[in-house]
Amino acid sequence: MERRFYIETYGCQMNVADSELMLGQLGRAGYRRVERAEEADVILVNTCAIREHAEQRIYGRLGELTRHKLRRPGVVLGVAGCMAQHLRGKLMERVPQVDLVVGPDGYRRLPELIDEAREEPTLAVRLSRVETYGDLVPARADGVRAWVSIMRGCDKFCTFCIVPYVRGRERSLPADEVLRQVEHAAAEGFREVVFLGQTVNAYRDGDVDFAELLIRADRVPGIARIRFTSPHPSDMTDRAIDAMARCEKVPPHLHLPLQSGSDAVLSRMRRIYSIDEYERLVERIRRAIPGIALSTDIIVGFPGETEEDFETTRRAMDRIGYESAFIFKYSPRPGARSAEWPETVDEEEKTRRITLLIEEQKERSLLKNESDIGSIVEVLVEGPTKRNPSEWFGKSAQFKTTVFPHRGARVGEVVPVRVAAATPHALLGEGVRAATFATVEDVLT
């Protein structure tokens, strides 16, 4: 009998890549993927634990998915990923219909685990020091972009963060396996490769560091762009900056999480850099790669963040001038160090702080995007926008979403687009009506 498998993914790109890995494993075991949970006999949710809100949402979704088990008791309901690793057996206590809890290091044996879960509730949450899945072939989703996890885990232990506890120790894939994956992605027709890792630039395999890996990947024919996320500021070596500058396929964009502009907060977060060191790093990067676009992550309301700390962050964001920023309210994660510290910023004040930073960043992003008006950007074509099939979109080299009139461009091509207008979230080519694209959701399909 054919076995049908449904998967839903939450969280970051690493989870998206892990879901593709699981799809690869299940494909080889004879499963066929289906797009609706009602059609599946195995339902898997790949989860995130980064903030409480993420877990709440997933609990809600699991509640809905348990209906399928009521109607069809043979269905296997599995929870994978970071929340599975975080809560382990507790997840089964809270949602007794869950048959399988599998953490990020258990995917190699996924088909066997599912078979076990048909017989009895199964828990596979042992973290590994060596598992990288480098030899497994993921079933990648169609599109122009291929995710390649080049390292797993994290050894930084920022005090707010659950990742080191749910993804285990840092380990890198062998360089030849990474390069084989890049070549394989190119052969499958992907045009952009995104190297993934929680501290992606801490990559090391013997003599091959992150800089050397970029240089080697840059030589793979067929690939137009090589991106990576997220680098840690303290691992951003001059060698890596130099490699970014020299590699033709590495575009001028860098996501460089800051978290806070206040040294007191950075130190309690255990980020291992000061704001001064961070800004000097930014200077070196901008000198080496003129016109590079920077984006970042910021947390507001960390325990002990005073009004003055917050204002310091505000000023730092202004000085640095990010093209875009993801801003989060601090969320205590049981298990992470800072969860033991009393929260000093109440919800209302967190809301005030986040709203202010988001508003200011929106204005800043708009100004940055408007400064591109009149210039020509190189866009890697992704496909039609949701609103208008004759208007297509893609990313510029600076990773800005760019909308342009279709006129025969093909998916995966890099086309020049003259920027005629801008919103905080997108560049618009000549002939595109600005009003249609008020938010990024209007653009992306």
Q: How many residues bind ligand F3S (CB under 6 A)?
A: 13
One residue of 3, 156, 184, 204 binding ligand SF4 per CB under 6 A: 156
Decide: is 160 part of the binding site for ligand SAH (CB under 6 A): yes
* Residue 297 partner contact from ligand F3S, ligand SF4, ligand SAH, none using kind-dependent CB cut-offs of 5 to 8 Å: ligand SAH
* Burial of 288 per CB tally in 10 Å (0-12, 13-18, 19+): middle
Q: Find where tokens 């600076």 sit.
A: 398
For residue 171, the minimal CB distance to ligand SF4 (Å) is: 13
Q: In what order do the strands lie in the sheet with 3-9?
A: 31-33, 3-9, 42-47, 76-81, 100-102, 122-124
Closest to ligand F3S by CB, 198 vs 260, is: 198
Enter the tokens of residue 157. 């232990």
* CA-wise closest residue to 11 among 37, 35, 46, 52: 46
Residue closer to ligand SF4 (CB basis): 163 or 256 = 163
DSSP 160-171: T--HHHHH-S-E
247 is in an annotated binding site: no
Distance in Å, CB of 287 to ligand SF4, minimum: 25
Nearest to 17 by CA among 5, 29, 6, 9: 9
Q: Which residues pair with 253 in a beta bridge?
A: 293
Identified binder of ligand SF4 from the candidate list 67, 112, 157, 376, rule CB under 6 A: 157
Check residue 329 for interaction with ligand SF4 (CB under 6 A).
no
Q: Which does 157 bind (CB under 5 to 8 A by kind): ligand F3S, ligand SF4, ligand SAH, none?
A: ligand SF4
14 makes contact with ligand F3S (CB under 6 A)? yes
Residue of 199, 285, 296 lying closest to 240 (CA atoms):
285
Per-residue string for binding with ligand F3S, 27-66, x by CB under 6 A?
---------------------xxx----------------
What is d(CA 90, CA 71) in angstroms, rounded to the nearest whole number? Answer: 25
Here's the x/- map for ligand SAH, 312-341, by CB under 6 A: it reads as ----------------x-xx-x--------
343 lines the binding site for ligand SAH (CB under 6 A): no
**Contact partner at residue 51 from ligand SF4, ligand SAH, ligand F3S, none, CB < 5 to 8 Å by partner kind:** ligand SAH
User: Is 50 one of the binding residues for ligand SAH (CB under 6 A)?
Assistant: yes
**Residue 219: partners with Cβ closer than 8 Å, 6 or more residues away:** none
CA pair distance 292, 251, nearest whole angstrom: 8
Residue 82 binds which entry of ligand SF4, ligand SAH, ligand F3S, none, CB below 5-8 Å type-dependent: ligand F3S
Pull the structure tokens for residue 111: 């088909």
How is residue 334 annotated by DSSP? B
Residues contributing to the site for ligand SF4 (CB under 6 A) = 154, 156-158, 161, 163-164, 198-199, 232
